[in-house]
């Protein structure tokens, strides 16, 4: 173990899980700020997904964790020891971090085995190759050890990259859009396999993604970034139920947005008065209704009496779910509704519509959720 290492460097079967902490991290590029004071504490063995629009600073935060970049201000700590900050800078190779990129970055001139063994350069060659073979077996690629990377499929290359990153048993795994190069079906199974391997090794993991569903699937918690800020941190369920901001609500479910003027701290809607606390008289509030939060019934059905009258204006079949446009009494414009396809809704059908007021969200026109 090098004197500068902050976690025991091991090749043991299980990683020494490490805490990864960002304290008010800033990163300036010329006049621009890529990160504006990001604080985030990731528990040992936890998987956190970084989610946010293009250019919000996700990759920069990952690069700072790895040591490829330095913060302009603030600190990064691994197991409470500073690895980047005013007092100390620990280079990437001494941080016990594993890195995996979107393009996999395999060495084209090395075969699969040597690509994986590259992560174990510190070991005697035979031992490194033995360990590399063991991890290749773990990801189901032992039969490809002597192939060149460019002869493998996208999914196989992804497994090689994963094996190479994980074989030194890094305490922290940093992954930058690791699945975006894969087609949708493959992505599904690779997400499962990758998560299983991360859990098995107990590596603390930070995964950058553009896809909310991927973040919900992989992350113990999700950190949502925008404009260099970390704007929200929570479990998938927290973020879904209490998004806090309109742009986060839009990320996590399909919604209808209907503007209303605030009067006496509430908005008067066809489903009753909905509180809009914190907004001034005459402000605009946006009522958000989830497309899946609207229940349609045939008028004669049980429970349909209390609903609003509506008519199906359009139906699109999306497999198990149908996307409907429904004109509803009291609403100026039709609402989109996602319903089970099996219900067999037809264009022109009369329906009764129920919207649960407990499940709607109200935002200020600035996008902030009213509390």
The residue ranges that bind ligand ATP (CB under 6 A) are 29, 32, 34, 52, 54-60
- If the CB atoms of residues 29 and 317 are measured against ligand ATP, the closer one turns out to be 29
- If the CB atoms of residues 32 and 124 are measured against ligand ATP, the closer one turns out to be 32
Minimum CB distance to ligand ATP, residue 32 (Å) = 6
Minimum CB distance to ligand ATP, residue 51 (Å) = 10
In degrees rounded to 5, what are phi and psi of residue 313?
-100, -25
Both tokens of 130, joined, read: 């033995």
What is the number of H-type helices and E-type strands within the chain? 8, 20
Q: Which helix (H) or strand (E) holds 113?
A: helix 112-117
- If the CB atoms of residues 207 and 289 are measured against ligand ATP, the closer one turns out to be 207
Minimum CB distance to ligand ATP, residue 28 (Å) = 9
The DSSP output letter for 89 is B
Residue 38 CB burial class (10 angstroms; 0-12, 13-18, ≥19):
buried
- If the CB atoms of residues 161 and 224 are measured against ligand ATP, the closer one turns out to be 224
Both tokens of 156, joined, read: 């196989």
Residue of 128, 119, 115 whose CA lies nearest to 168: 119
Residue of 236, 237, 203 whose CA lies nearest to 218: 236
Minimum CB distance to ligand ATP, residue 50 (Å) = 8
Minimum CB distance to ligand ATP, residue 69 (Å) = 8
- If the CB atoms of residues 56 and 289 are measured against ligand ATP, the closer one turns out to be 56
Angstrom distance (rounded) from CA 352 to CA 116? 60
């Amino acid at each position: 173990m090098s004197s500068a290492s902050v976690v025991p460097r091991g090749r043991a079967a299980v990683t020494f899980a490490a805490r990864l902490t960002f304290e008010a991290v800033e990163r300036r590029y010329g006049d621009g700020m890529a990160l504006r004071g990001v604080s985030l504490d990731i528990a040992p063995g936890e998987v956190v997904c970084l989610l946010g629009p293009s250019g919000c600073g996700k990759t920069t935060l990952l690069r700072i964790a790895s040591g490829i970049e330095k913060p302009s201000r603030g600190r990064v700590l691994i197991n409470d020891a500073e690895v980047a900050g005013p007092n100390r800078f620990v280079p990437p190779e001494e941080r016990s971090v594993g890195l995996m990129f979107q393009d996999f970055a395999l060495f084209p001139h090395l075969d699969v085995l040597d690509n994986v063994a590259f992560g174990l350069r510190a070991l005697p060659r035979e031992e490194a190759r033995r360990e590399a073979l063991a991890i290749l077996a773990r990801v189901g690629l032992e039969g490809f050890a002597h192939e060149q990377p460019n002869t493998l499929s996208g999914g196989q290359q992804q497994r090689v990259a994963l094996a190479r990153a994980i074989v030194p048993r890094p305490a922290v795994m940093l992954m930058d859009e690791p699945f975006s190069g894969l087609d949708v079906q493959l992505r599904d199974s690779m997400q499962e396999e990758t998560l299983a391997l991360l859990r098995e090794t107990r590596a603390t993991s930070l995964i950058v993604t553009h896809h909310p569903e991927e973040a919900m699937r992989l992350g113990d918690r999700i950190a949502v970034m925008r404009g260099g800020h970390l704007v929200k941190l929570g479990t998938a369920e927290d973020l879904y139920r209490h998004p806090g901001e309109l742009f986060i609500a839009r990320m996590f479910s399909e919604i209808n947005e209907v503007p209303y003027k605030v009067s006496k701290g509430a908005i008067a809607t066809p489903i009753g008065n909905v509180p809009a606390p914190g907004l001034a008289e005459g402000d605009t509030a946006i009522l958000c209704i989830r497309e899946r939060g609207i229940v349609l019934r045939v008028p004669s059905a049980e429970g349909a009496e209390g609903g609003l009258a509506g008519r199906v204006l359009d139906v699109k079949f999306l497999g198990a779910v149908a996307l409907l446009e429904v004109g509803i009494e009291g609403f100026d414009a039709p609402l989109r509704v996602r319903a089970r396809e099996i219900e067999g809704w037809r264009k022109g059908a009369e329906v009764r519509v129920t919207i649960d007021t407990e499940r709607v969200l109200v935002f200020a026109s600035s996008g902030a959720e009213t509390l």
